[in-house]
Amino acid sequence: MSDTVERIKTLIIGSGPAGYTAAIYAARADLKPVMYTGMEPGGQLTTTTEVDNFPGYPEGIDGPTMMVQLQQQAERFGTEVRVGMVTAVDLSTEPGGIHHITVDESKKIEAETVIISTGASAKYLNIPSEQRLRGGGVSACAVCDGFFYKGQEVAIVGGGDTAAEEASYLANICKKVTMLVRKDHMRASKAMQHRVNSLENIDIRYNTEVDEVLGEQVVEGLRMVNNKTGHKEDIEITGLFVAIGHKPNTDIFKGQLDMDDTGYIITEGKSTKTNIPGVFASGDVQDKEYRQAVTAAGTGCMAALDAERYLATVEQKVMQPS
């Protein structure tokens, strides 16, 4: 237990592309940023293999390497990167107010500005057999884990763009992909629907949900249920991919920051400003639409610039009281 309070100018919470880009800009602006990485240092990209769409990497780069390089770049300018989890926040609503942050339930921090880049996490179905077999054949990332099912039969749940994209990715490496869509239509864009429809080894089952994932230690099959007829059917699979969307990691900020009805932080206009002065949000935690590494990095840059301008305004007011 630590009861000493540390004062920090710019605290960055989360270590994905948004957090690291904010750190690079904040450090160069002499905001002396300290970053807490959270439970998954490097964020979602550490569970990705190849990143082919980040500008500047003509041959692509693997996600974990990219995150290590972003960390090195942020540290080169003086960012202090610490492994730790922010567990509570008490944000001041006063302009120029100090935000009280607790890390790992014990360490106390006073922050002049806070940049939230806590990202979003994959959603699961939350049925017991699925939870039991996570890591034993149940995955929420086809691009990360699809390789292990090369030549095998797998299933994927979801009817959005992620599910469609991952189904076509899996179809390239697996023998057969059964796609479970709970409605009678997909939510995915027409182009993505066309892609999955055109692949012969994708079997799309509409109005179909997971009743139970079969297998004790590893996935051996799937019991599907037609939600219109109630008809159940078992198929043999070795992998189940869940692609039903993401949940923003915003629980600790609930009741203090304005959020939409799905928990994404609302930012002001084109800025990264939240409803609390001195608190900024960047990356997937405030973006359910684009959710790309490059867009996250862009908003991380914006958050650092917004924090710098905010501090300059606050300092000016302190020096010249009205």
Active-site amino acid positions: 141, 144-145
**HEC string for 175-222:** CEEEEECCCCCCCCCHHHHHHHHHCCCEEEECCEEEEEEECCCCCCEE
Distance of closest approach, residue 164 Cβ to ligand NDP, in angstroms: 8
Residues near ligand NDP (CB under 6 A) are: 125, 157-163, 165, 182-183, 187, 209, 244-245, 289, 291
Q: Looking at beta carbons only, is 43 or 278 nearer to ligand NDP? A: 43
Tokens of 161: 């763009």
We find the least distance from the C-beta atom of residue 87 to ligand NDP, in angstroms, to be 28
Q: How far apart are CA 126 and CA 150, in angstroms?
A: 26
Structure token pair of residue 154: 């797998």
Nearest approach, Cβ of residue 27 and ligand NDP (Å): 31
CB 66 within 8 A of CB 72: no
Would you say 14 or 159 has its CB closer to ligand NDP?
159
Tell me the H-state helices in the chain.
17-28, 63-76, 128-132, 142-145, 161-173, 190-198, 293-319
For ligand NDP, which is the closer residue by CB, 64 or 245? 245
Closest to ligand NDP by CB, 261 or 289: 289
Q: How far apart are CA 320 and CA 322, in angstroms?
A: 6
Q: Which is nearer to ligand NDP, 85 or 141 (CB)?
A: 141
Output the residue with the shortest Cβ distance to ligand NDP. Answer: 160
Shortest distance (Å) from residue 88 CB to ligand NDP = 29
Distances (CA, A) of 162 to 133, 154, 304, 311: 21, 16, 30, 39
Q: Report whether 223 contacts 212 (CB < 8 A).
A: yes
- DSSP category for residue 93: -
To ligand NDP, the closest distance from the beta carbon of 46 in angstroms equals 18
Select from 48, 77, 61, 304 the least CA-distant residue to 165: 48
